[in-house]
Amino acid sequence: MMEEEKVLEIQMILEEKLGKTVSVLEEEFSSIRAGRANPHILDKVTVDYYGAPTPVSQTSNISVQEGRCLVISPWDVSLLKAIEKALQQSNLGITPTNDGKVIRLVFPQLTEERRKELCKQVRKSGEDAKVAARNNRREAMDALKKLKNDKLLSEDELASCEKDVEKAVSDAVAKLDNVISAKEKEIMTV
């Protein structure tokens, strides 16, 4: 009975780590700009708000205009200069335009060369995520083998558990592939 709980725990930890790997990759991809305005690109940009570094999204209303322009309307107009400065220092590669009421970020159309660079970046991040998934598999397999060496699992039980681990990792890698191909398609769409 004890060994079943340990096996379940190993599998639950593996599932959790694999799920986290997929969500981290999706989060990373949301900040890669693909020629269209995406409010998530501002997720990591912080502004000094009454002495505390605060994400721009928590100080302003952010909307998309005409697909390629982000409009940032701060709730406190005195923040305009601070937000503009934070955007310039954030290495987004886009110069903000301040009209005294709102800040506009106009996303230029991506060149073919830049699209290919972004696809390489996406593939590299995807490959790193797959490596993380394989490392998770190795950790789970090592934990199962330790149970077998401690005589808590038989050969057959170990083989069955290893199949479950392989299936979980294969499913996660398939999800990662879907996320990668979706982002590449988004980037290459003109």
What digits encode the pLDDT tens for the residues 132-177? Answer: 999 999 999 999 999 889 888 888 888 999 999 999 999 999 999 9
Do residues 187 and 178 lie in contact, with contact meaning Cβ atoms separated by under 8 Å? no
pTM given for the model? 0.73
- Enumerate residue ranges in the chain where pLDDT < 70: 1, 33-35, 190
39-106 carries CATH number 3.30.1360.40: yes
Residues 153/144, Cβ–Cβ less than 8 Å: yes
Positions of CATH 3.30.1360.40 in the chain: 39-106
Q: What is the dihedral of CA 21, 27, 33, 39, to 10 degrees?
A: 170
pLDDT score of 168: 94
CATH of 2-31+111-188, one of 3.30.70.260, 3.40.1190.20, 1.10.132.20, 3.50.50.60: 1.10.132.20
β-pair partners for 2: none
Q: Helices (DSSP H) in 47-154: which residue ranges?
A: 80-89, 112-149
pLDDT of 33 reads 67
Q: What is the mean pLDDT of the chain?
A: 88
Cα-Cα end-to-end distance for the chain: 57
What pLDDT score was predicted for residue 35?
65
Residues of the chain with CATH 1.10.132.20: 2-31+111-188
